[in-house]
A and B are shown apart, each in its own frame.
Chain A
């Protein structure tokens, strides 16, 4: 009898507590996985244009409380709040320039109303005569990119709709004159975007006459490449400054890179070793 008793497992308070805790962990793991999956999926919508002054996307998603005060302040209804089904991070503000571009209000009503600082007033301000003033021209909502194949100006047809629509005409979009080789007697007036000046407002995209815009705004980090430290414009003193911070460390180390070039170039063995 006593033998049977001792075999019966004892359910202690501690055992019960640990088991309930483990149950919560199990449920949370499943729920958390589904939840995280959704969030990661929702975050990865890289082709989204944010209001002026928006922090870089990762910080923006951290800081935006999704209150919509920027969208309310926008007098042109440019800014939309991402709805379920828009396939954009839920509740965050964005705009579609082909529908309604940013008209670059000089008083930038959407930025100062942001309660969290996800739209950063500092990044769209400049100092004029010792005073800080809002300066929409400093905003970087994106970068306009031209598709040379569908842009009719590249065909030789005269069109400067984007150039004329640009609020920074001749600064952000310039017309480049080129000889039209096909006719031999006309000029091509080709729109060229200057990335330093372009604010990404999208007025050019809105104005483009082709069926689907041949000039369109992309988020800057998607539209641009990056040279890195290996190539420097030696003729440009400004670009040469980048050399100051470039590390001289060689990333790839092989047996050969341990030797000076004249050593291995003068000896067959090392050259064909590996």
Chain B
């Protein structure tokens, strides 16, 4: 049992965080338990601290909006937190879509789909192009372009205010990730993930690799949703410095050889 707990410690913590945040949002609307009101787009913590989605705010600027101070302060708080400390943790610790795509990913491994499917080519860089496209379209249509189609908001708003046909969008992402492209949505297309990848390039919480302990079993690369970031595995000790790392901690859990851990980024000694 303790072994099980140790093997899934970050996964369980992440689910507690993801579901806990959803419960807080939900109960603010349903029961008036106002700790965290609003949705992931913009919310109020403890009735005082504004929190807003910086990517949404960027699109709204592109759409030509003149915005109130609350939303700007909120976006700045969120941006600063992820950019300096959390890294791309939004994706694996907060975003509700992560649970959907993790489920697809798990089923993929169980059904051995990786071994049998026809590979569909889709670059990891698509998300950055989607960001640019979202900003251009926002300017053209005078509406925050990704916000109006975002399955993240659809699912999250759906849980807080009622789903409607939003389930269809979520299902399509699930099917896409399960049958079409591994980590298709979160790891290739989602511009919000792309935005946090760029924004959190310099954040300080990082996965660290201790190369001498590594036995090259490659379990970490199997389980990593962004495996291109683990290029240093077995080659050199150091920090996983790519902004695309979501700090989910799965690689640390599956490593039986104590070769991976969370730590503070070593800025002083580059060879750390």
Range class of the B interface residue count: 35 or more
Beyond A68-B39, A69-B44, A72-B29, whether A90 also contacts B70 by CB under 8 A is no
> Does B234 sit at the interface, judged by CB under 8 A?
no
Q: Is the CB of A84 within 8 A of B168?
A: yes
Q: Is the CB of B165 within 8 A of A83?
A: yes
Tally A-B pairs: CB < 8 A.
140
Q: Is the CB of B71 within 8 A of A84?
A: no
Near B by CB (< 8 A), chain A positions 109-138 give 113-117
Q: Which of B106-114, B141-149, B201-209, B216-224 contacts A (4 or more CB under 8 A)?
A: B141-149
Beyond A61-B142, A91-B157, whether A67 also contacts B38 by CB under 8 A is yes
Q: Is the CB of B42 within 8 A of A65?
A: yes
Q: Is the CB of B169 within 8 A of A84?
A: yes
Contacts of B143 in A (CB 8 A): 39, 43, 61-62, 89
Q: How far is the CA of A116 from the CA of B144 in the complex (A)?
A: 13
Contacts of A68 in B (CB 8 A): 29, 38-39, 41, 157, 160-161
Contacts of A86 in B (CB 8 A): 164
> Does A24 sit at the interface, judged by CB under 8 A?
yes
> Does B255 sit at the interface, judged by CB under 8 A?
no
Q: Is the CB of B70 within 8 A of A115?
A: yes
Q: Is the CB of B57 within 8 A of A65?
A: yes
* A62, A83, A90, most chain B CB atoms within 10 A: A62
Contacts of A81 in B (CB 8 A): 157, 161-162
Instruction: Flag B39-54 by CB within 8 Å of A: 1 or 0 each.
Output: 1011110000010110
Contacts of B44 in A (CB 8 A): 69, 113, 115
Q: How far is the CA of A40 from the CA of B143 in the complex (A)?
A: 9
B65 CB to closest chain A CB (Å) equals 4
The chain B residue with its CB closest to the CB of A79 is: B161
> Does A232 sit at the interface, judged by CB under 8 A?
no
Contacts of B141 in A (CB 8 A): 36, 39-40, 43
Near A by CB (< 8 A), chain B positions 130-164 give 130, 132-133, 136-137, 140-145, 147-149, 153-154, 157-158, 160-164
Q: Is the CB of B42 within 8 A of A38?
A: no
Q: Is the CB of B60 within 8 A of A116?
A: yes
Q: Name the one of A28, A65, A83 contacting B71, with C-beta atoms under 8 angstroms.
A: A65
Contacts of A89 in B (CB 8 A): 143, 148
A65 CB to closest chain B CB (Å) equals 5
Q: Is the CB of B149 within 8 A of A38?
A: yes
> Does B129 sit at the interface, judged by CB under 8 A?
yes
The chain A residue with its CB closest to the CB of B151 is: A84
Q: Is the CB of A63 within 8 A of B37?
A: no
Q: How far is the CA of A90 from the CA of B147 in the complex (A)?
A: 8
The chain B residue with its CB closest to the CB of A24 is: B129
Q: Is the CB of A62 within 8 A of B60?
A: yes
> Does B19 sit at the interface, judged by CB under 8 A?
no
Contacts of A116 in B (CB 8 A): 42, 60, 65, 67-68, 70-71
Contacts of B37 in A (CB 8 A): 69, 72, 113
Q: Is the CB of A59 within 8 A of B157?
A: no
Contacts of A91 in B (CB 8 A): 41, 147-148, 153-154, 157
A-B CB proximity, top 3 nearest = A83-B164, A85-B165, A117-B68
- For the A-B complex with A65-B41, A65-B57, A116-B71 known, give 4 more contacts whose Cβ atoms are closer than 8 Å: A61-B143, A67-B52, A68-B29, A69-B44
The 25 sampled A-B contact pairs (Cβ below 8 Å) are A32-B133, A38-B149, A39-B137, A39-B141, A39-B148, A42-B148, A61-B142, A62-B63, A65-B56, A65-B57, A65-B144, A67-B52, A68-B38, A69-B37, A69-B42, A72-B37, A72-B38, A80-B161, A85-B166, A90-B148, A91-B41, A115-B42, A116-B60, A116-B65, A116-B68
